[in-house]
Structure 1
Amino acid sequence: MLIISNGTVASESKEEQSHVYLGGQVGVSHFLGACSSNAIECKNYVTGGGLYGGYQFNSWFALEGSWHDYGSPKTFYGVGDGYYSNATGVDLSVKLSLPVTDNLDLYAKGGAAYNYLSVSGNDNVHLGMFESDSSIDDIWEIGAEYALAPNWSLRFGTSIIDGIGNAKTGKSDLYFTSLGLTYKFKAKPEPEPKPETIVKLVPEATYYPEQVTLHFEFGESRFVVESKQWHSWNELALSVKQGQGKVSITGYTDAKGTDSANDIESLRRATYAADMLIKAGVDEERILINSKGSADPLVNEDLMRNESALNRRVVIQFNRRVGS
């Protein structure tokens, strides 16, 4: 018998491949507290941008560095009285990610930033004033990333610097909200393993004619001489049940007694054998009972009188299963 089935070679699931990534972002910088209350015009929401890159160690941990130009806020107090600022910075952060769906991750970043802030302008006292300051500040960011393709993703987040610059340059709190596009330099994913076609050769079951002979004492319907092959009715019945087709059970006697008595006795023996097989689970509808009295002897009792017991028998014939 030929059995064909499909199977897939199992492979262990792996963490997301480690890889280098680069990206760019644009957004809006909010310099909170950059303008005094007497300012006529305060442009503390300005456009900014930056570049970032990092190394993704696994699906949740990365080390990332970035450069930002946070833009140029402006403050005006009157004609010829105003200030122009510019803020830039570089930072190094630890980035932790939390998968939400197959394509969406939440992330949080924390690290240190080196920032440079310059302020130039005029006021009623100073003409051509210029101040600058550099500082190392904490930087924090939270956001979300959405995978567009295996190597591309969108990033949306807000970073916070608590007090950029010093008192002379304003020392404003900076909030930078941006949208970024990331490219991941990682190997192409391995193709899914194709299902294997598994071919199993299972030997077909075959059936061979089987004949079992049980012998009886004179005048008895229950056999007393055990078969050398079958040691119990249950054992014999199991082989019969696994076989196929009809089960022929034929009873015989020796030549002693009248023909009518021998016919009755041979039927009793065949019926007894059938009842025992049915009790052991053989389907009654498969069984055919025959009785032949003293016909078809195995030995000639006139020549071998001491061997007449061989003629007192029941012959069970069925197709026995051999193989799977």
Structure 2
Amino acid sequence: MNIKRISLYPSVASIISLSLLMSPQVNAAAENAGEFYLGAKTGWANFDYCESGDDCDDDAWGGSVYGGYQFNEWFSLEGGYNYLGKAKASNSTQGYLESKVQNGELGAKFDWNLTSAWNLFGKVGTSYNDIEHDLSQGSNISDNNWSVMLGAGVEYQLSHNWRIRTEYQWFDDVGSSSVAKSDVNYLSLGLSYYFGSSESAAPVAAATTTAAVVAAQEPEPEPVVAEEPLPAATLSGHAFEHDSTELTEEAKTTLAPVAEYLNQRPEIKVDVIGYTDSTGSAKYNQKLSEQRAQAASDYLESKGVDESRVTTIGKGEENPIADNSTVEGREKNRRIEVSYK
């Protein structure tokens, strides 16, 4: 049979364009380096093997399970099993044909981080295909072969552990028999789980809830009088919510004595310096460090410190104090330092 090719590229391009429009204009921090993941997906498979004269049902629903290991922020090795459904065709000369296709795949996955939540990815690898052909005369033909696999898609990070993905895959020349050989297009929607620990979501949520309950039950305490001299303050770890420049309650608690001290000593000025880890581009890291340092400065000013006494500085990924190749080191390097002058 002749091959009829139906391109799904416009659909994939539309999905990618929509994700870019929805995403905020910041770069991504890869949270899952060094972690294993598992996932499942389902979607639409299209078989390009029907002739123009066939009565053809060349679309089917498929399902998959997959897993992999994220080596770093841009590369992972991924394998999986795909059930691609059944394609059916019939005509007056060759009769009825039904082909059931399933395969196993292995490939390299390359990520391009767009934001802290969105990333594009591409895949290249191979698949081992198992095809069962049922013919109208009652015969059954089994067929197996290897194919080239190419893929592309978009992922959205719901949390540290969960990602949702939409993906397009192309399997070249599935089947080797003269009965039917087809390219297979597969468009799917999936959910992945990464086996790693969330950096701060649960502790921050618990601390915020506790603070709210205490505030509701107890009268507002008297302002804390800062002792002199007050050492410089460093905010790291849980200073900001995930994918945010908003200070957490823990960070505000650390800054409150600084504001009290500055209000008692109007002749003293302060530098507020922001730093990031090395994940992402240097340009983005510079911008993010400035935004987070400004959030700390804004808090001091909201407590009565005059703007002219606060100098806000962003230094991006400069001056790391820990190893950026580990999750713990990156967490320490994402910090705000407050010093007096």
Which of 92, 98, 115 is residue 101 of structure 1 equivalent to? 115
Aligned to 2:88: 74
Displacement after TM superposition at 1:183 (Å): 1.3
Q: Deviations over 1:147-185 (max 9, x none)?
A: 122221111111011110014241111110111111111
Give the Cα–Cα distance (whole angstroms) in 1 for the partners of residues 61 and 194 of structure 2.
26
Give the Cα–Cα distance (whole angstroms) in 2 for the partners of residues 148 and 73 of structure 1.
35
Q: 5 Å matches for 1:62-141?
A: 62-78=76-92, 81-122=95-136, 127-141=137-151
Aligned to 1:184: 194
Greater Rg over alpha carbons, structure? 1
Question: CA 1:84–1:27 in structure 2 vs 1: closer, same or farther (change >3 Å)?
Answer: same
What SS class does the counterpart of residue 52 from structure 2 fall into?
Answer: coil
TM-score calculated relative to the size of structure 2: 0.50
Question: CA 1:14–1:38 in structure 2 vs 1: closer, same or farther (change >3 Å)?
Answer: closer
What SS class does the counterpart of residue 158 from structure 2 fall into?
Answer: strand
Name which structure has the greater RCO, CA cutoff 8 Å, separation 6+.
Answer: 1
Aligned to 1:37: 52
Give the Cα–Cα distance (whole angstroms) in 2 for the partners of residues 145 and 74 of structure 1.
33
Question: CA 1:14–1:112 in structure 2 vs 1: closer, same or farther (change >3 Å)?
Answer: closer
Q: 5 Å matches for 1:210-221?
A: none
Give the Cα–Cα distance (whole angstroms) in 2 for the partners of residues 168 and 14 of structure 1.
47
Question: CA 1:16–1:184 in structure 2 vs 1: closer, same or farther (change >3 Å)?
Answer: closer
Aligned to 1:166: 176
CA contact under 8 A between 2:30 and 2:73: conserved in structure 1?
no
Displacement after TM superposition at 1:146 (Å): 0.9
Give the Cα–Cα distance (whole angstroms) in 2 for the partners of residues 43 and 14 of structure 1.
42
Question: CA 1:167–1:80 in structure 2 vs 1: closer, same or farther (change >3 Å)?
Answer: closer
Q: 5 Å matches for 1:220-299?
A: none
Question: CA 1:100–1:120 in structure 2 vs 1: closer, same or farther (change >3 Å)?
Answer: same
The one-letter code matched in structure 1 to 2:44 is V
The one-letter code matched in structure 2 to 1:71 is G
1:55 aligns to 2:65 (yes or no): no
Unaligned runs of at least 5 residues, structure 2: 1-28, 204-237, 240-249, 265-341
Displacement after TM superposition at 1:130 (Å): 1.7
Aligned length: 186
Give the Cα–Cα distance (whole angstroms) in 2 for the partners of residues 121 and 74 of structure 1.
10
Give the Cα–Cα distance (whole angstroms) in 1 for the partners of residues 76 and 51 of structure 2.
40
Give the Cα–Cα distance (whole angstroms) in 2 for the partners of residues 42 and 188 of structure 1.
49
Instruction: Answer 1 or 2: which has greater strand percent.
Output: 1
TM-score calculated relative to the size of structure 1: 0.52
Q: Deviations over 1:192-251 (max 9, x none)?
A: 1544467899xx9xxxxxxxxxxxxxxxxxxxxxxxxxxxxxxxxxxxxxxxxxxxxxxx
Q: Deviations over 1:280-317 (max 9, x none)?
A: xxxxxxxxxxxxxxxxxxxxxxxxxxxxxxxxxxxxxx
1:27 aligns to 2:48 (yes or no): no
Give the Cα–Cα distance (whole angstroms) in 1 for the partners of residues 194 and 70 of structure 2.
9
